[in-house]
Amino acid sequence: MTIAVPAEPFRTTLDAVPADERPSTDEHRYGPESTATHPLATGPIVTPPHSVEGFVREFLRELNYGQGVALARATVNDQYLALARTVAHYLAARWLETSRVQRETKAKTVGYLSAEYLLGRQLGNALLATDLRDIVEDGLAACGISLATLRAQEVEPGLGNGGLGRLAACFIDSLATLNIPCIGYGIRYEYGIFRQTFVDGRQVEQPDAWLALGSPWEYPHPENSVRVDFGGHTETYTDEDGETRTRWVPSWNVLGIPYNYMVPGYHNGRVNTLRLWSAQATKAFDLDIFNSGDYAEAVRAQTFAENISKVLYPEDSTPQGRELRLQQQYFFVACSLRDFIDRELPQDFDLHHLPERIIFQLNDTHPVIAVPELMRILVDERDMPWAEAWQVTQQCFAYTCHTLLPEALEVWPTELLGRLLPRHLEIICRINDDFLADVRAAYPGDEMRVRRMSIVADYPERAVRMAYLATVAGSKVNGVAELHSQLLRDKVLPDFSDYWPEKFTNVTNGVTPRRFIRLANWNFSQLINETIGVGWVTDLDRLAELEPYAEEADFRARFRAVKSANKERLRQLLLARDGIDLPADHLLDAMVKRLHEYKRQSLKLLHIVSTYEQILSGAVDPAHVTPRTFIFGAKAAPGYRMAKEIIHLINAVGATINTDPRTQGRLYVAFPPNYNVTLAEKLIPAADLSEQISLAGKEASGTGNMKFALNGALTIGTDDGANVEIRELVGDDNFFLFGMTEPEVVELQSHGYVPSQVYESNPLLKSAIDLIASGHFTEGNRESVAPVLDDLLYNDRFLTLADFQSYIDAQARVDAAYADRDAWSRKAILNVARSGFFSSDRSMRDYIDRIWHTKPLK
Task: Pick the closest to residue 774 from 612, 661, 634 (CA basis).
Answer: 612
Q: How many CA atoms lie within 13 A of 340 on its CB side?
A: 31
Axis-axis angle for helices 804-818, 601-617 (nearest 10): 70
Q: Are 683 and 711 in contact (CB under 8 A)?
A: no
Establish whether 703 is a catalytic residue. yes
Pick the catalytic residue: 556, 567, 648, 707? 707
Distances from the Cα of 95 to the Cα of 45, 47, 205, 491, angstroms: 10, 12, 37, 44
Establish whether 402 is a catalytic residue. yes
* Four-residue CA torsion sign, 215, 220, 222, 225: negative
d(CA 6, CA 503): 60
Under DSSP, is residue 51 helix (H, G, I), strand (E, B) or coil? coil
Pick the catalytic residue: 195, 366, 594, 648? 594
Distances from the Cα of 436 to the Cα of 218, 220, 374, 468, 496, angstroms: 45, 44, 21, 12, 12
Establish whether 318 is a catalytic residue. no
Pick the catalytic residue: 503, 596, 599, 666? 599
Pick the catalytic residue: 593, 776, 834, 842? 593
Under DSSP, is residue 56 helix (H, G, I), strand (E, B) or coil? helix
Three-class secondary structure assignment of 298-359: HCHHHHHHHHHHCECCCCCCCHHHHHHHHHHHHHHHHHHHHHHHHHHCCCCCCHHHHHHCEE
d(CA 388, CA 531): 57
User: In the 8-state DSSP scheme, what is residue 580?
Assistant: -
d(CA 101, CA 748): 58
Task: Pick the closest to residue 155 from 203, 84, 58 (CA basis).
Answer: 84
Residue 229 has φ and ψ, to the nearest 5°, of -100, 155
Establish whether 451 is a catalytic residue. no
Task: Pick the closest to residue 427 from 458, 472, 461, 397 (CA basis).
Answer: 472
Q: Which residues contact 12 (CB under 8 A, 6 or more apart)?
A: 58, 89, 90, 92, 93
Q: Computed over its alpha carbons, how large is the radius of gyration of the chain?
A: 28
Render 486-541 in DSSP notation, one character per residue.
HHIIIIISHHHHHH-GGGEEE----B-HIIIIIITTHHHHHHHHHHH-SGGGT-GG
Task: Pick the closest to residue 88 from 12, 148, 174 (CA basis).
Answer: 12
| Run of H or E residues at 109 | strand 109-113
Q: What angle do CA 114, 338, 385 make, to 5 degrees?
A: 110
Residue 385 has φ and ψ, to the nearest 5°, of -55, 145
Which residues, in sequence order, are bridge partners of residue 589?
630, 689
d(CA 715, CA 709): 7
236: left (phi over 0), alpha (psi -120 to 50) or beta: beta
Q: Are 510 and 729 in contact (CB under 8 A)?
A: no
d(CA 491, CA 700): 13
Length of the chain: 858
d(CA 7, CA 589): 53
Distances from the Cα of 387 to the Cα of 394, 458, 471, angstroms: 11, 26, 18
Q: What angle do CA 524, 529, 532 make, to 5 degrees?
A: 115
Please give the positions annotated as active site: 402, 593-594, 599, 703, 707
